[in-house]
Amino acid sequence: MAPANPSAAPATPPKGATAVLILADGTILWGVGFGAAGAGVGEICFNTSMTGYQEILTDPSYAGQIITFTFPHIGNVGVNSEDMERDRRGGIGCITREMPTMPSNFRSEQTLPEWMTAQGLIGISGIDTRALTRRIRDAGAPNGVIAHSPDGIFDLDELLAKARGWSGLEGSDLAKDVSRHDVGTWTGGIWTLGEGYADSDAAGRPHVVAMDFGGKHSIFRALVDAGARVTVVPAKTPLADILALEPAGVFLSNGPGDPAATGEYAVPVIQALLDKDVPIFGICLGHQLLALAAGAQTIKMHQGHRGANHPVQRAEDGKVEITSMNHGFAVDAATLPSGVVETHKSLFDGSNCGLAFTNKKAFSVQYHPEARPGPQDSFYLFERFVSDLTA
């Protein structure tokens, strides 16, 4: 429904428009809404994955973001209760080229629009997602508002003011909002067709305490599959409480927002764990927090990395892993101190994708090894971490 040139969209809604996307620069994009009615403000990003839209929409790392799906067939396999990465939505909503069609998959339990309505996720279809993606690529990820009103009535001035008034992701600690609020024992391993999620016997397994900054369930399942017993704790858990659980190692999860803001309370805890030589493994936000604890710096990326086809090169042997990524901040490799080395880098733009301490059992990666786009390229990271706990 939107024209090829997004900036040329009319301020008056065209016939049949029930949703609108307004960028902070005043650009207006009209479309047809689906999912929940209402309005939400966030950073507009794009994801190039061809599968996994349900996992993406329930990934807490997308808090504060509106996701543009570049793949046109979103909704084609429906939604089911087993593929949730958390028990609630992650992002604000999504942008698609086509209206989601009726699903065709034996595992489907709901259509995508039905599920999004229940989750409070707002959708807009009919957008030229290629043009919008090019705009984000060239000018960076903008702030904006997505709104869906079945009657097609919108207060454009109010929505534009909301887009322009939002402070953005930089400087925002969103991990505290998506973290669990209590300590819990994680059960369940990797999913297999016909069997569901594997049961795990905790006896004799090394104990991993996972700090939840917005962790995906599949990460905790991968730790179990690699041989760990997992306890998940809130993001702001004090050091004494973590040590009282007698961890063999500590895992730092993924999550949303600016790592420097989250680091105000997380970094001192991580530094103390490093001082006590507790083995540590971090993913995504956890990677960035480990870098900050080491004394490095993080930076806001121009457009971020979000997709399931990102090639990452391993420094130790030159091997290339195909990875899944979702991040808008990155570790500045030039600021890594002595005693910390870069272990992986992106072959798209050369940005840092991994680090390791040379004198401690502590390492991290920027990508998501549990997502398995390779599909098994990166599972060794979980195995390496668990083996460190018993060495």
- E strands in 49-187: 65-69, 93-95, 122-125, 143-148, 184-186
Average pLDDT over residues 240-258: 98
Query: What distance lies between CA 168 and its chain's CA centroid?
Result: 16
* Least confident segment among 194-203, 336-345, 363-372: 194-203
* Chain segment 210-233, per-residue pLDDT in tens: 999 999 999 999 999 999 999 999
State the DSSP string of 98-133: SPPPPP--TT--B-HHHHHHHHT-EEEES--HHHHH
Residue 199's pLDDT is 80
Q: pTM (2 decimals)? A: 0.95
* Chain segment 118-139, per-residue pLDDT in tens: 999 999 999 999 999 999 999 9
According to DSSP H, which parts of 296-379 are helical?
Answer: none
Whether 179 contacts 265, CB under 8 Å:
no
Here the tokens at position 20 are: 């609108």
Catalytic status, residue 284: yes
CA atoms of 185 and 314, how far apart (whole Å): 33
CA atoms of 176 and 261, how far apart (whole Å): 10
Residue 5's pLDDT is 42
Task: Report all structural domains of the chain as residue ranges with CATH numbers, in order of start.
Answer: 6-165 (3.50.30.20), 175-390 (3.40.50.880)
Catalytic status, residue 246: no
Residue 10's pLDDT is 60
**What are the C-alpha distances in Å from 247 to residues 122, 125, 244?**
40, 47, 8
Here the tokens at position 290 are: 């480990």
Here the tokens at position 158 are: 């109010």
pLDDT at 202 over 80: no
pLDDT at 344 over 60: yes
* Chain segment 152-179, per-residue pLDDT in tens: 999 999 999 999 999 999 999 999 999 9
Here the tokens at position 83 are: 């593929």
**Helix, strand or coil, per DSSP, at residue 292:** helix
Catalytic residue among 43, 45, 94, 284: 284
> What is the average pLDDT value for the chain, to the nearest integer?
95
Residue 203's pLDDT is 80
pLDDT at 249 over 60: yes
**Non-local CB neighbours of 139 within 8 Å, separated by 6+ positions:** none
Catalytic status, residue 305: no
Catalytic residue among 148, 287, 305, 368: 368
Residue 189's pLDDT is 87
CA atoms of 233 and 295, how far apart (whole Å): 24
Residue 372's pLDDT is 87
pLDDT at 1 over 60: no
pLDDT at 2 over 80: no
* Chain segment 305-343, per-residue pLDDT in tens: 999 999 999 999 999 999 999 999 999 999 999 999 999
CA atoms of 330 and 301, how far apart (whole Å): 7
- pLDDT category at 9 given cuts 50, 70, 90 is low
Residue 7's pLDDT is 47
